[in-house]
Chains A and B, each alone.
Chain A
Amino acid sequence: MQKDRYISYTIQDFLDDDAFVKWAGGVVENDPETARFWETFPQAYPDSAEHYRQALQFIQAYRTQDTVTADNRKAQLLSRITATIQEQPVIATTGKVKWLRPWMKIAASLLLIAATGLLALQLLNRKQVIATDYGEKRTITLPDQSVVILNANSSLHYADKWDTTTPREVWLEGEAFFDVAHINKDTQHVKPYQRFIVHSEGITIEVLGTSFNVKSRRGKTNIGLITGKIKVENHGNSDRPAIVMLPGDYVEYGGKSLLSNQKLQRPEKLKDWTRKEIIFTDASLGEIIETLQDNYGYTVETDNNQIRQLNIEGEINVANVDELLTVISTTLNVKVNKSSEKHLVFYLGR
C-alpha cells in the first residue's frame, strides 16, 4: 500500500489532507473503508498518533462553534421566493407584435417620442407633487440624488430645481423613508444648499445626510432615525427646544406635545415596510387595522374594542392583504368578514 507517507505525518499534513478533514468533520458520508482507515489510524501509525489526535481535537473543537438556525423562517422564505417568481412578468415573445404593420410601428414610435417630450417639458416646468394611492409604494430620487420611499396614501412635494442659494426642502403627508445624500463635509460651515429640511404636520426635520423614517398619520407624527443625525423642531410649540436625534432614537409628536421619546433596539425595522411585502413585528390588531385603513383604504369595523388589544407575537411577513387576513384568523381567535370589496368586519370567535 502507498500509505507510507503517514508514518511521520505532521499536524499540518493532517489538516491539508482532504480525506482526513472531511472524515474528521463528518461533513460527508464516508464509505466504510475510508472511515475504518481513519478510525484505526493511531494503531496503524503509532508515531503519527499524537499529531493525529491533536489535529482531530482541533477540528472537533472548531466545530463546536455557534450555528445560525432559522428553520422557523425556512418555509416563510420559500413562500416569499415562490411569490416573487409568480410575480415575474413572462417575457413577451417577439411573435406577439408581429401583427403590427411597419407604418404602425413608426407611428407608435413617433407617438411615444411625442409623449415622452411632452412629459419631459411638464417635468421641467413644474413643482413636483408625488402622491401614492392606497396599496401603492413609490421610490423617488430627488434632484440631489437623495432617495425617498413613499408609503401608500401619502404625498411628497418639492421644487423641481434645487439651486445653491436655498436649502433642500420637501413637504410630506403620510409616511416616507428618507435616505439623504450627504453634501456637507465641514460641519462648522454649513452652506444653505447643504441643509435638507422635511416639513410634516408642523414639524420640521433638519438633516445633513442620513436615513430616517417619518410617519404623519391621525394627527400624530413619529420620526425614527436609522443613521446620521437630525434636528427636529415642533412649530406648534415654540417653548420646547429642538430635539437632536441620534441613530436609534424615536420620537412621537401629537399636535403640540411630545408623546414619546425612546431608543429603538433595532431601528432598521422602521424601514421594513419599504420592502414589497406587508411586515409587522409583535403588532397589535389595532396597529394592523390602522395600517389597513391608512395604507390600503379599508373601512374596518370591530365588534368590541378589546379585539384591538390582541397581539400577534413575532413577525408577520406576507405578500398581500388577503394573506394578512388569513394570518390573523389562523393565529388569533378572530374571524374576518369581507362584507364588500373595501369593508372588513373583525369579530371574536372562529
Chain B
Amino acid sequence: MHAADSHIIWWNAFKQGDWEAYTALYEEFYAPLNNYGAKFTGDTDQVHDAIHDLFVQLWTSRNNLGAPASVKNYLFKSLRTMLFRKMQLQSKLVNLDGAISSGSFNVTFNQELPLKVEEQELRMQVAAMISQLSDRQQEIVFLRFYEGASYDEIADIMGISTNSAYKLLYKALENLQRILSKRSFALLCCILLQGEIIFKFFPDSEG
C-alpha cells in the first residue's frame, strides 16, 4: 500500500474522532512540516506554535473538514498559511521600528557530508545557484525536488496558478544546464589532465 493511501485512511478515521489515527498523522507529518516551516523562519518556536495551532484546529474542526486529494499537500498548505499569518502579525509589531523582512525561504547546505570531491563541488555549485533565486523560486524548487510535488500540487500549496509555478521553476533552472554541462566539461579536462600529469611525471613509476 502506498503511503498516500494510508494517509487517506488515517484522515477518514480521524474525522470520525479516532484519536490514534490523528496521532498517526501527527507522527507522520511532524518532521516534514517542521522542516518545511523552518525554511521560512529561523524561529523554531514559531514553527512549533504554527504546527500546534494547525493540529489543534484540525481536531476541533474535524466535523467540517473535507476529503483532500492529498493529505500532505493539505497540511503543507495549511501550515504555510498559519505561519505566514503569525509572521505577518509579528512583523507588523516589529515593522514600527523599521526592520524585518517576511516571507523569506532559505535552503542551506552547511552540514558536513561524506561526499566525493566532485560531488561536494557540484553541491556547492547547486547551493550557489539556489542562493541566487528569489524566495518563491527557492520554495518551488524545494517543493519540486525535495518533496517531489507536481506543478499542480505546488500551485495548490502556494496558492498560485500552475502556469506561474511552471514558469517560475523554468526561470529558476535556466542557469542549471549551463552549470551542469560546464561542469562535465571541466571534469573531463580534469581527468585528462590528471592522466597527462601522471604520464609525464611518473612515466615508469612502477618499473
**Residues on A facing B (Cβ under 8 Å):** 11-12, 15, 18, 21-22, 25, 27-29, 50, 54, 57-59, 61-71, 73-74, 77-78, 80-81, 84-85, 88, 179, 181-182, 209-211, 227-229, 268, 272, 275
B108-125 Cβ-contact flags toward A at 8 Å (1 or 0): 111101010001001101
Compute the total of residue contacts between A and B using a CB distance below 8 Å.
121
- The complex places the Cα of A266 from the Cα of B108 at a distance, in Å, of 21
**Residues on B facing A (Cβ under 8 Å):** 2-4, 23, 26-27, 30-31, 34-35, 38, 43-45, 48-49, 51-52, 55-56, 59-60, 93-94, 96-97, 99, 107-111, 113, 115, 119, 122-123, 125-127, 130, 141, 144-148, 150, 170, 173, 176-177, 180-181, 184
Q: List 19 A-B contacts (CB under 8 A).
A: A11-B177, A15-B173, A21-B144, A54-B177, A54-B184, A57-B180, A58-B145, A61-B119, A61-B122, A61-B123, A62-B130, A64-B109, A66-B110, A77-B48, A78-B23, A81-B59, A85-B59, A268-B45, A275-B49
Q: Which residue from chain B places its CB closest to the CB of A30 in the assembled complex?
A: B2
Q: Which residue from chain B places its CB closest to the CB of A87 in the assembled complex?
A: B56
Report whether A85 and B56 are in contact in the complex, using a CB–CB cutoff of 8 Å.
yes
Residue of A29, A57, A74 touching B2 (CB-CB under 8 A): A29
19 further contact pairs, Cβ within 8 A, besides A21-B144, A211-B93:
A12-B177, A15-B173, A25-B145, A28-B4, A54-B177, A57-B180, A61-B122, A63-B145, A64-B113, A64-B115, A65-B108, A68-B35, A69-B35, A70-B48, A74-B27, A77-B30, A85-B59, A181-B96, A229-B97
Report whether B97 and A182 are in contact in the complex, using a CB–CB cutoff of 8 Å.
yes
Q: Which residue from chain A places its CB closest to the CB of B46 in the assembled complex?
A: A268
- Known contacts A65-B107, A65-B108; A59 and B145 CB within 8 A of each other: yes
Report whether B144 and A71 are in contact in the complex, using a CB–CB cutoff of 8 Å.
no
- The complex places the Cα of A276 from the Cα of B144 at a distance, in Å, of 37
Report whether B145 and A29 are in contact in the complex, using a CB–CB cutoff of 8 Å.
no
Report whether B145 and A67 are in contact in the complex, using a CB–CB cutoff of 8 Å.
no
Report whether A11 and B176 are in contact in the complex, using a CB–CB cutoff of 8 Å.
yes
Residues of B contacting A67 in the complex (Cβ-Cβ under 8 angstroms): 35
Residue of B31, B60, B126, B147 touching A61 (CB-CB under 8 A): B126
Report whether A209 and B96 are in contact in the complex, using a CB–CB cutoff of 8 Å.
yes
Q: Which residue from chain A places its CB closest to the CB of B166 in the assembled complex?
A: A16
Q: Which residue from chain A places its CB closest to the CB of B93 in the assembled complex?
A: A179
Residues of B contacting A74 in the complex (Cβ-Cβ under 8 angstroms): 27, 30-31
- The complex places the Cα of A162 from the Cα of B92 at a distance, in Å, of 23
Q: How far is the CB of A28 from chain B (nearest CB, A)?
A: 7
- The complex places the Cα of A209 from the Cα of B97 at a distance, in Å, of 7
Q: How far is the CB of B28 from chain A (nearest CB, A)?
A: 11
Q: Which residue from chain B places its CB closest to the CB of A80 in the assembled complex?
A: B52
Report whether A69 and B109 are in contact in the complex, using a CB–CB cutoff of 8 Å.
no
Report whether A81 and B52 are in contact in the complex, using a CB–CB cutoff of 8 Å.
yes
- The complex places the Cα of A57 from the Cα of B119 at a distance, in Å, of 9
Report whether A25 and B108 are in contact in the complex, using a CB–CB cutoff of 8 Å.
no
- The complex places the Cα of A124 from the Cα of B111 at a distance, in Å, of 60
Q: Which residue from chain B places its CB closest to the CB of A54 in the assembled complex?
A: B180
Residues of B contacting A27 in the complex (Cβ-Cβ under 8 angstroms): 147-148
Report whether A268 and B180 are in contact in the complex, using a CB–CB cutoff of 8 Å.
no
Q: How far is the CB of A2 from chain B (nearest CB, A)?
A: 20
Q: Which residue from chain A places its CB closest to the CB of B56 in the assembled complex?
A: A84
